Homo-oligomer: A and B are copies of this chain.
């Protein structure tokens, strides 16, 4: 089965490769089948908007493949990116549950597939399957936790260098080698990094220069190499 943008389509949640790990992905057979009935699937190109901040919630998106960024903007055009999402994440859940406008904009950064569940169908589904409602509550409280991480970063970590170091570390917690170095493929522009840590493009550029000079990191093509993890951790809690 082929699709636009050169992707393979996953047409069944029951055989989805990420199904073990995430919300809606490891349900009872009965609930899983019901879920399959009420969802539809689509493939989105880079730059596609799944939903936009302020829109009434139409439903939730289960991101299967690809990457998306969640962001919120002020009227004057300043933007902050609050989360980068990958396969398995559920987008739009809060807006749907509370029936308030989407609090963020979800834009595809890499093409990918997402399942869509309309709001009414989901709420009905949750009423029928009370055990899933509790899992939804758990997911929401996890979202809340990450939101609080964001609040702490924005409100307590003062300097851009501290936030930058924090971000670098968050990228490499999973991929650390035994010698303390680690590598990450760098897919974000400086502008996007600036929107994550709440500063300007120029400052990010200078931070890269500064950290390179201090031997904290290096760049091999588009691959970021962390050279001195301990020094970064010291900056974070300084």
Contacts and interface: CB of A to CB of B under 8 A. Distances in A.
Interface in A199-238: 237-238
Given A134-B126, A137-B133, A156-B80, A75 B237 contact: yes
Contacts of A158: 78
Contacts of A152: 72, 74, 80
A145 interface: yes
Given A137-B140, A140-B144, A147-B151, A156 B78 contact: yes
Interface in A132-177: 133-134, 136-138, 140-145, 147-148, 150-152, 154-158
B151 A94 contact: no
Contacts of A93: 141
A141 B80 contact: no
A72 B140 contact: no
A84 to B, nearest CB: 15
Contact of A141 (B74, B138, B140): B140
B141 A97 contact: yes
B151 A154 contact: yes
A130 interface: yes
B98 A138 contact: yes
Contacts of A100: 141, 145
29 contacts: A72-B148, A72-B151, A72-B152, A72-B156, A73-B156, A74-B152, A74-B156, A75-B237, A78-B156, A82-B148, A94-B141, A100-B141, A127-B134, A133-B133, A133-B134, A133-B137, A136-B137, A140-B140, A143-B144, A144-B144, A144-B147, A147-B147, A147-B148, A147-B151, A150-B151, A150-B155, A151-B151, A151-B154, A154-B155
